Amino acid sequence: MTTPTARMLLRRRSLLAGALSLGTALTTLGTGAGRAWAADGPLVSGCEAWGARPPKSPVKVLPARAQKILVHHTATPNVTDYGQAQAFALARIMQADQMDVRGWIDTGQHFTISRGAFVTEGRHGSLAALDSGTQFVEAAHCPGQNTVAIGIENEGTYTTEEPRPEQYATLVALCVRICLQYGIRPYQIYGHRDFHNTECPGDRLYARLPQLRADVAARIGGDPTAPVWPVVGTGEVSERVRVLQYLLVQRGATITPDGAFGPATEAAVRAFQKQIEAAVDGVAGNQTWNQLCAPVAQGAAGEAVTAVQGRLTGLGFPTTADGVFGPGTAAQVTAFQGSRGLPQDGVVDARTWSRLIA
């Protein structure tokens, strides 16, 4: 959740009492549409269960798996009402805010976990897409990531307080389910602030993310260590600057990848940061790298591939720098991954990127 919405939700607190009674009525009606996964996931109440309005226009279902999970907090009060009616009321308030105030077609996020650990579907179709394991609903929870990342909102404000243990346990269970369905690795669980200029999901919940990745990894396996990105700014001359420049060119910048971070590169970084609504400081850090380092695999072409090929060669895995990710590049990526103890799948994901520029 971003700050403006949070403020709006706080202003709307007074509406909550009225919405609560409506939620109770809906519960009584027993429209219990949702999914329960006895073995590996929590019950999720679908849009019809909590009384969602229809979307303004059809939601976009992408024929692709989600690549990562972004954790948010709603920045609403840390209520002590842990009932399902509160969860349903929150879902309706968020949808109304996002459709009426922000002008979106529907709820922004895919799922919400209430303080009482009830899970609701956000954007229509999110649950069916998750069940398919092969489709993904385009959302509106983080600029630059809405076509690749699942967004999970956690009810509450976690700047100085911790989520309730029940809420956190449900977050773990939901992440496990999503990771299994989409083949997401536990390290690919991030906070909203890793991509966007926001405090979300609050300092305390953000500080729990290494534990969350580890708890998910304990259930499904894999190394939960998230990438660590360098801070690269004006004056630096290096191969990682060259990678940065190639990635910026891939996103439309007109600069020369010469490995020297000068005024043109700084301007390109600022323009990109503005475009993806990161903090605009002209220095490539966590948000900039996370947004730039999209996965590339066999079949891809362009400057990002050229950057990969250049680094592979520089690190002792000679690769023709033709900008086309063919079998030869895939073989060298796989060899490089083996040398660094990474899963050898030939896909340059965020962790492989981070090792290429380390």
Q: How many residues bind Zn ion (CB under 5 A)?
A: 4
- Which run of H or E residues covers position 129? helix 126-132
The C-alpha atoms of residue 201 and residue 30 are separated, in whole angstroms, by: 32
Q: Residues near 21 by Cβ (< 8 Å), separated by ≥ 6?
A: none
The C-alpha atoms of residue 285 and residue 289 are separated, in whole angstroms, by: 6
Q: Is residue 200 within the footprint of Zn ion (CB under 5 A)?
A: yes
Contact predicate 225/187, CB 8 Å: yes
How near is the Cβ of 52 to Zn ion at its closest, in Å?
20
State both tokens at 91. 């879902």
Question: Which residue, 268 or 278, has its beta carbon nearer to Zn ion?
Answer: 278
Best CA proximity match to 68, nearest among 146, 160, 171:
146
**DSSP per residue, 54-75:** PPSSPPPEESS---EEEEEE--
Write down the residue that tokens 């024929």 correspond to: 63
Q: Do strands 189-191 and 68-73 pair parallel, antiparallel, or not at all (unpaired)?
A: parallel
State both tokens at 77. 């009060």
How near is the Cβ of 141 to Zn ion at its closest, in Å?
6
Q: Which listed range, 32-40, 156-164, 186-194, 288-296, lies at the site for Zn ion (CB under 5 A)?
A: 186-194
Question: Which residue, 72 or 242, has its beta carbon nearer to Zn ion?
Answer: 72
Beta bridge partners of 61: 137
How near is the Cβ of 149 to Zn ion at its closest, in Å?
11
Question: Which residue, 48 or 277, has its beta carbon nearer to Zn ion?
Answer: 277
Binding mask of the shown chain, residues 206 to 245, with x at each position contacting Zn ion by CB under 5 A: ----------------------------------------
The C-alpha atoms of residue 153 and residue 157 are separated, in whole angstroms, by: 11
Question: Which residue, 193 or 351, has its beta carbon nearer to Zn ion?
Answer: 193
Q: Is residue 1 within the footprint of Zn ion (CB under 5 A)?
A: yes
- Judged by CB under 5 A, which of 110, 123, 192, 208 binds Zn ion? 192
- Judged by CB under 5 A, which of 68, 72, 110, 311 binds Zn ion? 72
Q: Which listed range, 43-51, 89-97, 193-201, 290-298, lies at the site for Zn ion (CB under 5 A)?
A: 193-201
How near is the Cβ of 56 to Zn ion at its closest, in Å?
22
How near is the Cβ of 324 to Zn ion at its closest, in Å?
37
Conformational region of residue 306, where left means phi above 0, alpha means psi within -120 to 50, and beta covers everything else: alpha
How near is the Cβ of 98 to Zn ion at its closest, in Å?
12
Question: Which residue, 6 or 26, has its beta carbon nearer to Zn ion?
Answer: 6
- Which run of H or E residues covers position 137? strand 136-137
Q: Is residue 173 within the footprint of Zn ion (CB under 5 A)?
A: no
Q: Is residue 117 within the footprint of Zn ion (CB under 5 A)?
A: no
Q: Which chain residues interact with Zn ion by CB under 5 A?
A: 1, 72, 192, 200
